[in-house]
Structure 1
Amino acid sequence: MSNHPFRCLRDLSNQNGPLMHLKLGERSAIVVSSPELAKQMLKDLDPRFAQRPEYLASKILWYAGSDIGFSPYGEYWRQMRKFCVNELLSTKMVRLFQSIREDESARLVEYLRESSGSSVNFTEKLFSLSSSITFRAAFGAACKDNEALRKLIEHTMEMVGGFEMLDLFPSSRLVAALSWRRMRLLKTMRRELDVIMDDIIDRHRRNRGRNSEFGGEDLVDVILRAQEEELLQFPIDNNNIKADVFTAGTDTSAATIEWTMVELLRHPRIMEKVQAEVRRAFKENPSFQQDDVVYDLKYLKLVIKESLRLHPPGPILPRASIEEQVINGYTIPAGAMVMVNSWAMQRDPSYWKDPERFEPKRFETEDLNFVAGDCKYSPFGIGRRMCPGLTFGLAAVESALIQLLYNFDWKLPEGLRAEDLDMTENVGLTATRKQNLFVVVSPYN
């Protein structure tokens, strides 16, 4: 398992088949690498595989799985999922945050204009952009420590990636006592995050209705209102609030924008085509005020889809079986960890022509979407545990790419060729790019 887990598991599946049983320490892991099996388990047999496995990170950083992503399947999860879809990240709320997305993208554009001709650490600026959008939507004006919170989240995501020994040997007291990550997460990261997040919640309680920058409610306001009006069957406390707004997809949006720009730099003809479409659409609207106007950006949407095919934010979908099931003649015991290798399925030559090639036009004929598509394409998950922030994340990605592609021509620093760009991923919850991307921009006149 020395390689990236999703790559290593793909290679093992090529040798042993699309349904494998691995013994990882004390834990049984079932690896699924076939769209047909993924559909059977996560759709046809849903919710029997709707449980989440327990991880060290989810226990500590997400308060024993109190958030939507890691909470155990049951009535509480159903309540919070419904609340998230209907209230927190509804289409209405996503549209309400449009001005924030446009404003933060404009700030990045202004920075790039001032840095024209110089090499810029684009990766760093993208993570700052994504986190600023999320913080302003979630916390409004109540967050006074944006930079400190951003750095804590960045460091935390670096720490929780890969296989942690305590996750593989959960019953071992010796492993628990010697776990450096456990001590770091408990004593430093959790404590520092609590100070910032508790302050944000206290500010919201003192200033109800005055936190948002746009006259409405931000995400924490919505949760507090539901809490105070007792709208939820299962009460929520500060820990539930902190678990649900922590990270909130900051790294996934930034990673998707970066991977897309990397692929466009490696494929200049595609870059030229998508820039022409964006510049044509916004020629009469350089302020990018989208309002209710529907712009014809079909090719940009294809580019984003293809980028998500090659670089899904979550390459492995973690599940656990709720009860014993027989799949293809094999018995999967209750409680077994199930690892659906979405990354492998989206690059499988059995289902995709030239799967390693970045070719957006393949989606002109592939009738696939993010919600009801074939399981061979599942960048946001499958079944009930699909990412509830899909609409919010895609809106941030599209808004940023529109402004970046419209306003600048792009190239790499002198001496660096596009074909030499390192396409290796980080090992973590999100498959971000391992090497930072440095670019040189020229303003488009």
Structure 2
Amino acid sequence: MLLLFQFLMSPLISFLFLLPTLIIFKWLISSAFKTQKDLPPSPPKLPIIGNLHQLGSVPHLSLRSLAEKYGPVMMLHLGSVPVLVVTSAKAAQEILKTHDLVFANRPKLTIPDQLNYGSKDIGFAPYGEYWRQIKSIAIVHLLSKTRVQSFREVRERETTRLLELIGQSGGSVINLSNMLVKVTNNVICEVALGRTYNDGFKFKDMLTRFQTLLGVVSVGTYIPWLSWVDWLRGLDKQTKKLAKEFSDFYDAIIEDHVVKKEMMGSEDDQEHDLVDVLLDVQRDSASNFTFGRDTVKAIISDMFSGGTDTTFASIEWALSELIRHPQAMKRLQQEVMEVAKGRSMITEDDIDSMPFLKAVLKETLRLHTILPLLLPHESMDDVKVLGYDLKKGTQVMINSWAIARDPSIWEDADMFMPERFLNSCVDFKGFHYELLPFGSGRRGCPGMHFAVSITELVLANLVYKFDFALPNGVRAEELDMTELAGLLVRKKDPLLLVPTARF
């Protein structure tokens, strides 16, 4: 019996003696494997939250400060999620061109997912056939260069209304920011929805809250078991409330189109607005791509949020910079006067003859990158970027705002100098990675031509028709340029001006 016991216990004792050796061996093997991985530099992280606390209230500023210490390619850990932060044109090109397909996906983020009907919109939809189909529909029927040109009459008509409204002010103080929201919103409403909607101020408030919420970092996105923190912050309540407001608004628009369709029957497709097209695709049983009402609402939401805020903010920033730099304003006014030759307004035929206008817009988008971190990307496979190993599921933030102010690229990087672009081939169309206001690659902004066409026309006519002064004797250089942080960067305070007709 004793011999049997010793026989049985012998392997167990041997194993217990070997256990520490096995643990040490496994650790050595694991460490050796890790050393084979070339990982980007990373700031020290805290337990559980990782580097979440280092994003700060204005992430693009906080991330630039971190990049100055850890380099233009660094790894953060938001909770347990690895996030690559890119702050150089070379690294941005690696992500958006060299490995464009690998990084074509979007991560699922809690707040955007709730506001965009389960990420059914173009901007946040995951990469795949669904995204390709809805992007194609939007481009063909609204955002292609040809379609954008076909909306010229709408843009010029709404610009004329804006000029008339300013002219009626009689030299009193105007809130130009509100006027710019209205003109851009009206253009989008007419081409996408077939009509304008009068309650512009309510819609402006909804858009502001929409962009602000999209820019908030949700703790629950990165640490799911701490999602109750978002509830305590009131994020859940705010998000659900705003989502319902937009949903009700879009439902009313869709119902209007359904009733109109039933009353008038089929019409020429060219006369259809975007909602009509979406409803036709939805009803077409022969189509190999079908979707529900949430998809219709998500695409409408993209048109509004992506078109209104970004466009009016660009015009607002451009005019603000011109007011603060009278020499640049004078030069632009001379250019538009020479091109217009005394006509009542600038038309879109004139724009290509205005190199300084285009330089002003480029310099505005450089200094005031409306979407400073673009939208996040996510790797769909393991990949090596600039010698660093990244695993599948790594998120990527591209700090396009910081790249556009990189002193190694731009002389006097923080100065407003439109003339820097007069003899430069650098443009914002996604082929020059030092200037990426609209992103680049597969997930670049499909509405770029739409936004630029409105911005150029409105800005040219504003400086052609009016001189602008700040109210209450405030000097031009004292104009407050404080930013309102969110997904988009806008002026914190509205642009209040006193217009004077130039002729």
TM-score category, normalised to shorter length: over 0.9
Distance 1:230 1:410, change over 3 A: farther
User: Following the alignment from structure 1 to structure 2, what is the Cα–Cα distance between the partners of residues 266 and 340?
Assistant: 29
What is the CA-CA distance between 1:77 and the residue it aligns to?
1.0
1:128-180 CA distance string (max 9 Å, x none): 22222212221113757555434322332233323233333234343354351
1:173-219 CA distance string (max 9 Å, x none): 43354351212221x2122221111111111122137999x982222
The one-letter amino acid of 1:356's match is D
SS at match of 1:414: helix
Structure 1 counterpart of 2:255: 202
What is the CA-CA distance between 1:271 and the residue it aligns to?
0.4
Question: Could you tell me which of 28, 33, 43 is aligned with 2:97?
Answer: 43
User: Following the alignment from structure 1 to structure 2, what is the Cα–Cα distance between the partners of residues 116 and 167?
Assistant: 51
Structure 1 counterpart of 2:502: 444
Structure 2 counterpart of 1:226: 281
User: Following the alignment from structure 2 to structure 1, what is the Cα–Cα distance between the partners of residues 351 and 313?
Assistant: 26
Is it true that 1:300 corresponds to 2:357 in the alignment? yes
Structure 1 counterpart of 2:127: 73
Could you tell me whether the CA contact under 8 Å between 2:370 and 2:489 is conserved in 1?
yes
The one-letter amino acid of 1:362's match is R
Distance 1:128 1:310, change over 3 A: same
Distance 1:404 1:173, change over 3 A: closer
1:52-92 CA distance string (max 9 Å, x none): 12222221111111011000011111222222222221223
What is the CA-CA distance between 1:284 and the residue it aligns to?
4.4
The one-letter amino acid of 1:306's match is E
Could you tell me whether the CA contact under 8 Å between 1:29 and 1:339 is conserved in 2?
yes
Could you tell me whether the CA contact under 8 Å between 2:94 and 2:386 is conserved in 1?
no
The one-letter amino acid of 2:271's match is G
Q: How many residues align?
A: 442
Greater helix content: 2
Structure 2 counterpart of 1:355: 413
What is the CA-CA distance between 1:226 and the residue it aligns to?
2.8
What is the CA-CA distance between 1:340 and the residue it aligns to?
0.5
User: Following the alignment from structure 2 to structure 1, what is the Cα–Cα distance between the partners of residues 56 and 495?
Assistant: 25
Q: Which structure ranks higher in relative contact order (CA pairs < 8 Å, sequence separation ≥ 6)? A: 1
Is it true that 1:254 corresponds to 2:312 in the alignment? yes
1:22-41 CA distance string (max 9 Å, x none): 12233322100111111112
Is it true that 1:338 corresponds to 2:392 in the alignment? no
Once the two structures are superposed, the pairs formed by residues 88-237 of structure 1 within 5 Å of their partners are: 88-141=142-195, 143=197, 146-186=200-240, 188-208=241-261, 216-229=271-284, 233-237=288-292
User: Following the alignment from structure 2 to structure 1, what is the Cα–Cα distance between the partners of residues 111 and 194?
Assistant: 27
User: Following the alignment from structure 1 to structure 2, what is the Cα–Cα distance between the partners of residues 436 and 323?
Assistant: 44
SS at match of 2:384: strand
Could you tell me whether the CA contact under 8 Å between 1:134 and 1:248 is conserved in 2?
no
User: Following the alignment from structure 2 to structure 1, what is the Cα–Cα distance between the partners of residues 322 and 265?
Assistant: 42
What is the CA-CA distance between 1:106 and the residue it aligns to?
1.9
Of 153-162 and 96-105, the range deviating more from structure 2: 153-162
Of 58-67 and 79-88, the range deviating more from structure 2: 79-88
Is there any run of 5+ residues in structure 2 with no aligned partner, and where? 1-54
Could you tell me whether the CA contact under 8 Å between 1:88 and 1:222 is conserved in 2?
no
What is the CA-CA distance between 1:249 and the residue it aligns to?
1.8
Could you tell me whether the CA contact under 8 Å between 1:20 and 1:30 is conserved in 2?
yes
User: Following the alignment from structure 1 to structure 2, what is the Cα–Cα distance between the partners of residues 154 and 63?
Assistant: 19
What is the CA-CA distance between 1:232 and the residue it aligns to?
5.2
Could you tell me whether the CA contact under 8 Å between 2:142 and 2:191 is conserved in 1?
no
User: Following the alignment from structure 1 to structure 2, what is the Cα–Cα distance between the partners of residues 232 and 198?
Assistant: 23
Is it true that 1:270 corresponds to 2:344 in the alignment? no
Structure 2 counterpart of 1:310: 367
What is the CA-CA distance between 1:231 and the residue it aligns to?
7.2
Structure 1 counterpart of 2:36: none
Of 82-91 and 330-339, the range deviating more from structure 2: 82-91
Structure 1 counterpart of 2:74: 20
User: Following the alignment from structure 2 to structure 1, what is the Cα–Cα distance between the partners of residues 156 and 390?
Assistant: 48
Of 200-209 and 404-413, the range deviating more from structure 2: 200-209
Is there any run of 5+ residues in structure 1 with no aligned partner, and where? none
User: Following the alignment from structure 2 to structure 1, what is the Cα–Cα distance between the partners of residues 190 and 380?
Assistant: 38
Structure 1 counterpart of 2:337: 279
Question: Could you tell me which of 360, 365, 377 is aligned with 2:423?
Answer: 365
1:307-328 CA distance string (max 9 Å, x none): 1111111110221111122223
User: Following the alignment from structure 1 to structure 2, what is the Cα–Cα distance between the partners of residues 38 and 301?
Assistant: 24
**Taking structure 2 as the reference length, what is the TM-score of the superposition?**
0.82
Structure 2 counterpart of 1:400: 458
Could you tell me whether the CA contact under 8 Å between 1:94 and 1:392 is conserved in 2?
yes
User: Following the alignment from structure 1 to structure 2, what is the Cα–Cα distance between the partners of residues 87 and 307?
Assistant: 29
What is the CA-CA distance between 1:244 and the residue it aligns to?
1.0
What is the CA-CA distance between 1:269 and the residue it aligns to?
0.8
Could you tell me whether the CA contact under 8 Å between 1:6 and 1:341 is conserved in 2?
yes
Distance 1:327 1:420, change over 3 A: same
What is the CA-CA distance between 1:342 and the residue it aligns to?
0.4
SS at match of 1:207: helix
User: Following the alignment from structure 1 to structure 2, what is the Cα–Cα distance between the partners of residues 173 and 350?
Assistant: 41
User: Following the alignment from structure 1 to structure 2, what is the Cα–Cα distance between the partners of residues 90 and 234?
Assistant: 21
What is the CA-CA distance between 1:436 and the residue it aligns to?
1.8
Could you tell me whether the CA contact under 8 Å between 1:142 and 1:200 is conserved in 2?
no
User: Following the alignment from structure 1 to structure 2, what is the Cα–Cα distance between the partners of residues 163 and 310?
Assistant: 24
What is the CA-CA distance between 1:255 and the residue it aligns to?
0.5
The one-letter amino acid of 2:413's match is P
Could you tell me whether the CA contact under 8 Å between 1:149 and 1:193 is conserved in 2?
no
Could you tell me whether the CA contact under 8 Å between 2:470 and 2:498 is conserved in 1?
yes
Structure 1 residue runs of 4 or more that deviate by more than 6 Å after TM superposition: 209-212
SS at match of 1:141: coil
User: Following the alignment from structure 2 to structure 1, what is the Cα–Cα distance between the partners of residues 286 and 429?
Assistant: 28
Structure 1 counterpart of 2:12: none
User: Following the alignment from structure 2 to structure 1, what is the Cα–Cα distance between the partners of residues 493 and 338?
Assistant: 33
**Taking structure 1 as the reference length, what is the TM-score of the superposition?**
0.93
Could you tell me whether the CA contact under 8 Å between 2:216 and 2:486 is conserved in 1?
yes
User: Following the alignment from structure 2 to structure 1, what is the Cα–Cα distance between the partners of residues 336 and 351?
Assistant: 13
